[in-house]
Amino acid sequence: MRSLSRTVVRFWRVVALLIVVAAVLPLAEGALRETPSVSAQGEDGVVVRTTDNVRLRAAPSTASRIYDVARRGTQLTATAISSNYRWIRVTFHGQGGWMARRYLTVVSGDVAALPVSDEYVPPAVVSASQYMPVNAVVVEALQDVHMRTEPTAEPEGIEGLLNPNENVITVMPAGAQGSARAITVDGLWVFVQWSGYRGWIKGQYLNVVAGSLESLVPPNVEFDADGIYFVADRAYVLPGGCTMVRWAVEGSGSVNYKARRVASQGQREECPIQTQQYKLIVVRPGNQIIERTITIAVVTANVTFTATPDTVGRGGCTTLAWNTTAVSRVFLGENEVSVNGSQQVCPQETTNYALRAYTEDGNLIEQSVTVTVIEVTPTPSQFVTINFYADRLLINQGECVNVFWNVSGALQVFFQGAQVSPLGSQQSCPTTTTTYALRVFTVDNRIIEQTVVVSVNP
């Protein structure tokens, strides 16, 4: 009897929700058919912003395939509008598709000027490395399993009550392998990238093929003095890349992330298109407001690789040096090395050295330098002479000095770390006492250093 009563209550609750939806839809439909006001098109065309978490679909229909889910506040460029004016075509994470217009607000441009289309948008062609980065934690589906927009099988809101699968993005088939990128604090849900999709899957339906899920979360959560833990997995991402922002709050109070109420523990994947700040606001009893901010920078992967000097006499040595930005692994020849470092080499013949760097999304950057080895037969005429001086050794604030050098019999000359010609000068206007250094590499593999100190009166 109690079970029957519960069923009846649930039935009438759904009926009530349907009545509300039926009353609202005509108003919404009318609003959708209104002709937008005409305004000047910006350089980026029509720009829209999501007002909720919005699905990207293959066609302008709720029955079409879901490619991805854009979070609330995501800004996108619109390229077309459906014939019934209810769908807008956009591109998100490199994938084209359709979003329901009722979940979008126009930031700039004229929606009425968009071309009308109802065409199907096929899946984008992507490289495997985009979804299986270097050192990825690889998981395999043990059975056909739902991939969801949030780590829950009980979506919130009216649509969640009417349809328990409202937050389902797709089904990852049994045997399919993907890259695990994050895990919830309780360890029950895993965030997976697979075949162009990204979403949460229950960990019990996954088998770890490579790596460890323990590497996806910090081993210890360290709260600050206010009982707040707020971090990003990485302080930077590559263009088009994403990172996880995580938080945990001790004690009582409400927690808001990006101006929305959230649970006291959680995480969100963020994919900024430019350097952006993310804010966590905790409201304690007594209306005590505590804010925390994280900045995630968007950077471009870069590698520099040099040999100093790049020419040596036989039996001589040189220093290889490399500096990188936004890379995860670096190889010098066949040996893995630190992402930033140096190494001395003493080639017996002219040699090309290759450096390979892998970005965090698996792309390869290659650099090489050639060290030339020459025969050296020292003679008296090859003895090095160095003349290095400044025209003034004591100056006042705001004054400048000229530094001169004249070197003969040397292989290479460096002033303040930069290679220069054997004869030259440079003007400098130091604000404090400064030491200028000249470094000379000789043909018989010697290094000679000289310095000049210029003092500045305070």
Same domain, 412 and 436: yes
- CATH number of the domain within which 261 lies: 2.60.40
β partners of residue 95? 92
Q: Which pLDDT belongs to residue 127?
A: 41
| Contact (Cβ atoms closer than 8 angstroms) between residue 190 and residue 201 | yes
In a domain, 123, yes or no: no
Q: Which pLDDT belongs to residue 447?
A: 84
Same domain, 210 and 254: no
The model's pLDDT over 384-413, given as tens digits with 9 standing for 90+, comes to 888 899 888 888 888 999 999 998 888 888
- Measured distance CA(42)–CA(275) in Å, rounded: 22
Q: Which pLDDT belongs to residue 382?
A: 59
| Contact (Cβ atoms closer than 8 angstroms) between residue 151 and residue 184 | yes
Mean pLDDT score of the chain, rounded to an integer?
Answer: 79
Question: Of the candidates 374, 394, 416, which is a domain's last residue?
Answer: 374
Question: Of the candidates 161, 186, 216, which is a domain's last residue?
Answer: 216
pTM (whole model) above 0.75? no
Same domain, 293 and 306: no
The model's pLDDT over 7-59, given as tens digits with 9 standing for 90+, comes to 444 555 545 555 544 444 333 333 333 333 333 333 458 999 998 878 888 88
Q: Provide mean pLDDT across the span 253-267.
A: 85
Q: Which pLDDT belongs to residue 198?
A: 78
Choice between 244 and 134, residue whose per-residue pLDDT is larger: 244
- CATH number of the domain within which 413 lies: 2.60.40.10
Same domain, 162 and 134: yes
Q: Which pLDDT belongs to residue 34?
A: 33
Q: Which pLDDT belongs to residue 165?
A: 64
Alpha helices in 80-222 (DSSP H): 157-162
Q: Which pLDDT belongs to residue 443?
A: 75
Q: Which amino acid is at 26?
A: P
Same domain, 340 and 319: yes
Q: List strand residue ranges (DSSP E) for 220-375, in order.
A: 228-232, 236-237, 243-249, 254-257, 260-262, 265-270, 276-284, 288-298, 302-308, 311-313, 318-325, 327-332, 335-337, 341-345, 351-359, 364-374
Number of residues in the chain: 458
Residue 130 banded pLDDT, cuts 50, 70, 90: very low
Flag the least confident range among 153-167, 322-336, 432-446. 153-167
In a domain, 33, yes or no: no
The model's pLDDT over 170-188, given as tens digits with 9 standing for 90+, comes to 788 888 888 887 777 667 8
The model's pLDDT over 340-361, given as tens digits with 9 standing for 90+, comes to 989 989 898 999 999 999 887 6
Burial of 61 (0-12, 13-18, 19+ CB in 10 A): middle
Q: Which pLDDT belongs to residue 192?
A: 86
Choice between 7 and 71, residue whose per-residue pLDDT is larger: 71
In a domain, 16, yes or no: no
Same domain, 294 and 307: no
Helix, strand, coil share (%) of the chain residues, nearest 5: 10, 50, 35
Indicate if the pLDDT at residue 80 is higher than 90: yes
In a domain, 91, yes or no: yes
In a domain, 8, yes or no: no
| Contact (Cβ atoms closer than 8 angstroms) between residue 296 and residue 278 | yes
Residue 304 banded pLDDT, cuts 50, 70, 90: very high
Most trustworthy range by pLDDT among 70-79, 108-117, 157-166, 188-197: 108-117
- The number of distinct structural domains making up the chain is 5
The model's pLDDT over 278-287, given as tens digits with 9 standing for 90+, comes to 999 999 988 8
- Measured distance CA(303)–CA(156) in Å, rounded: 46
Q: Which pLDDT belongs to residue 43?
A: 42
In a domain, 27, yes or no: no
Q: List strand residue ranges (DSSP E) for 74-172, in order.
A: 75-81, 87-92, 95-100, 104-108, 137-141, 145-148, 168-172
Same domain, 207 and 132: yes
Residue 113: closest CA among 142, 136, 91, 81: 81
Question: Of the candidates 275, 298, 321, which is a domain's last residue?
Answer: 298
Same domain, 385 and 418: yes
In a domain, 10, yes or no: no
Edge-to-edge strand ranges of the sheet holding 385-390: 385-390, 401-408, 423-428
Same domain, 109 and 137: no
- Measured distance CA(266)–CA(271) in Å, rounded: 17
Same domain, 366 and 408: no
Residue 81: closest CA among 64, 62, 104: 104
Structural domain range at position 96: 41-113
Same domain, 420 and 391: yes
Q: Provide mean pLDDT across the span 68-73.
A: 78
Tokens at 419, concatenated? 């290679």
Residue 3 banded pLDDT, cuts 50, 70, 90: very low
Same domain, 280 and 342: no
Choice between 361 and 315, residue whose per-residue pLDDT is larger: 315
- Please give the backbone phi and psi of residue 25, each rounded to the nearest 5 degrees, phi first: -55, -45
Give the side-chain half-sphere CA count within 13 A for 102: 14
Residue 444 banded pLDDT, cuts 50, 70, 90: confident
Tokens at 130, concatenated? 């985009």
> What does 55-68 look like in DSSP terms, one character per residue?
EEESSSSTTSPEEE
Residue with tokens 């001790």: 250
- Measured distance CA(384)–CA(304) in Å, rounded: 31
- CATH number of the domain within which 86 lies: 2.30.30.40
Count of C-beta atoms within a 10 Å radius of residue 390: 18
In a domain, 440, yes or no: yes
| Contact (Cβ atoms closer than 8 angstroms) between residue 231 and residue 294 | yes
User: 3-class DSSP state for residue 119?
Assistant: coil
Flag the least confident range among 65-79, 124-138, 229-243, 262-276. 124-138
